[in-house]
Protein backbone atom coordinates (compact mmCIF):
# COMPACT_ATOMS: atom_id res chain seq x y z
CA UNK A 1 0.00 0.00 0.00
CA UNK A 2 2.88 2.38 0.59
CA UNK A 3 3.84 2.03 -3.08
CA UNK A 4 0.36 3.23 -4.01
CA UNK A 5 0.61 6.14 -1.59
CA UNK A 6 4.03 7.20 -2.87
CA UNK A 7 3.44 6.75 -6.60
CA UNK A 8 3.90 10.15 -8.29
CA UNK A 9 1.64 9.03 -11.16
CA UNK A 10 -1.23 8.15 -8.78
CA UNK A 11 -1.21 4.49 -9.90
CA UNK A 12 -2.88 2.07 -7.49
CA UNK A 13 0.12 -0.27 -7.44
CA UNK A 14 -1.42 -2.60 -4.85
CA UNK A 15 -4.52 -3.08 -7.00
CA UNK A 16 -2.43 -3.71 -10.12
CA UNK A 17 -0.42 -6.35 -8.25
CA UNK A 18 -3.59 -8.01 -6.94
CA UNK A 19 -5.12 -8.14 -10.41
CA UNK A 20 -1.90 -9.60 -11.85
CA UNK A 21 -1.85 -12.21 -9.09
CA UNK A 22 -5.45 -13.23 -9.85
CA UNK A 23 -4.76 -13.34 -13.59
CA UNK A 24 -1.68 -15.51 -13.04
CA UNK A 25 -3.66 -17.93 -10.88
CA UNK A 26 -6.47 -18.16 -13.43
CA UNK A 27 -3.98 -18.70 -16.27
CA UNK A 28 -2.27 -21.47 -14.31
CA UNK A 29 1.00 -19.64 -13.72
CA UNK A 30 0.84 -20.15 -9.96
CA UNK A 31 3.00 -23.25 -10.20
CA UNK A 32 3.78 -23.49 -6.52
CA UNK A 33 0.96 -25.77 -5.39
CA UNK A 34 1.08 -24.75 -1.74
CA UNK A 35 0.89 -21.05 -2.64
CA UNK A 36 -2.25 -21.64 -4.68
CA UNK A 37 -3.77 -23.78 -1.94
CA UNK A 38 -3.05 -21.13 0.68
CA UNK A 39 -4.42 -18.32 -1.49
CA UNK A 40 -7.58 -20.30 -2.25
CA UNK A 41 -8.04 -21.17 1.43
CA UNK A 42 -7.49 -17.54 2.46
CA UNK A 43 -9.96 -16.18 -0.09
CA UNK A 44 -12.56 -18.79 0.87
CA UNK A 45 -12.19 -17.76 4.52
CA UNK A 46 -12.59 -14.07 3.71
CA UNK A 47 -15.59 -14.76 1.49
CA UNK A 48 -17.27 -16.88 4.16
CA UNK A 49 -16.49 -14.76 7.22
CA UNK A 50 -15.80 -11.28 5.85
CA UNK A 51 -12.23 -11.53 7.13
CA UNK A 52 -9.63 -14.24 7.65
CA UNK A 53 -10.65 -16.75 10.31
CA UNK A 54 -7.20 -17.99 11.29
CA UNK A 55 -8.08 -21.37 12.80
CA UNK A 56 -10.36 -22.25 9.90
CA UNK A 57 -7.76 -21.02 7.42
CA UNK A 58 -5.09 -23.20 9.01
CA UNK A 59 -7.36 -26.23 9.03
CA UNK A 60 -8.38 -25.73 5.39
CA UNK A 61 -4.79 -25.21 4.25
CA UNK A 62 -3.44 -28.20 6.17
CA UNK A 63 -6.22 -30.45 4.89
CA UNK A 64 -5.95 -29.36 1.25
CA UNK A 65 -2.16 -29.40 1.16
CA UNK A 66 -1.72 -32.64 3.07
CA UNK A 67 0.60 -30.86 5.49
CA UNK A 68 -1.50 -31.84 8.48
CA UNK A 69 1.26 -31.79 11.09
CA UNK A 70 3.13 -28.71 9.87
CA UNK A 71 3.62 -26.23 12.72
CA UNK A 72 1.07 -28.12 14.81
CA UNK A 73 3.36 -27.58 17.81
CA UNK A 74 2.62 -23.84 17.64
CA UNK A 75 -1.14 -24.24 18.01
CA UNK A 76 -1.33 -24.81 21.80
CA UNK A 77 0.59 -21.60 22.55
CA UNK A 78 -1.51 -19.58 20.13
CA UNK A 79 -4.73 -21.03 21.53
CA UNK A 80 -3.71 -20.30 25.13
CA UNK A 81 -2.86 -16.70 24.25
CA UNK A 82 -6.21 -16.23 22.53
CA UNK A 83 -4.56 -15.75 19.13
CA UNK A 84 -6.63 -18.51 17.51
CA UNK A 85 -10.25 -18.18 18.58
CA UNK A 86 -12.37 -21.30 18.11
CA UNK A 87 -15.18 -19.29 16.55
CA UNK A 88 -14.81 -16.66 13.82
CA UNK A 89 -15.44 -13.05 14.76
CA UNK A 90 -18.74 -11.64 13.58
CA UNK A 91 -18.04 -8.50 11.60
CA UNK A 92 -20.26 -5.86 10.12
CA UNK A 93 -20.29 -5.84 6.35
CA UNK A 94 -19.85 -9.58 5.84
CA UNK A 95 -22.61 -9.56 3.22
CA UNK A 96 -20.89 -6.76 1.30
CA UNK A 97 -17.66 -8.75 1.20
CA UNK A 98 -19.56 -11.79 -0.11
CA UNK A 99 -21.10 -9.59 -2.83
CA UNK A 100 -17.62 -8.46 -3.92
CA UNK A 101 -16.65 -12.10 -4.47
CA UNK A 102 -19.90 -12.73 -6.35
CA UNK A 103 -19.28 -9.76 -8.66
CA UNK A 104 -15.74 -10.99 -9.27
CA UNK A 105 -17.03 -14.43 -10.28
CA UNK A 106 -19.51 -12.85 -12.66
CA UNK A 107 -16.78 -10.68 -14.17
CA UNK A 108 -18.25 -7.42 -12.92
CA UNK A 109 -16.42 -4.18 -13.50
CA UNK A 110 -17.04 -2.77 -10.03
CA UNK A 111 -14.93 -5.22 -8.06
pLDDT value for 79: 78
- pTM above threshold 0.85: no
Domain-wise residue ranges, the chain: 1-30, 32-90
Given this model, what pLDDT does residue 2 score?
62
Residue 111's pLDDT is 46
Q: Cα–Cα–Cα angle for 56, 92, 14, nearest 5°? A: 75
CB neighbour class for 48 (10 Å; exposed up to 12, middle 13-18, buried from 19)? middle
Q: What are the residue ranges in the chain where pLDDT is below 70?
A: 1-2, 30-31, 108-111
Amino acid sequence: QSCTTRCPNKIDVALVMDVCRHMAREAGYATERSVKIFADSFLASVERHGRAYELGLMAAYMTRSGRVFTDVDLAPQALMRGKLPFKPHQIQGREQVARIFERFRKGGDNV
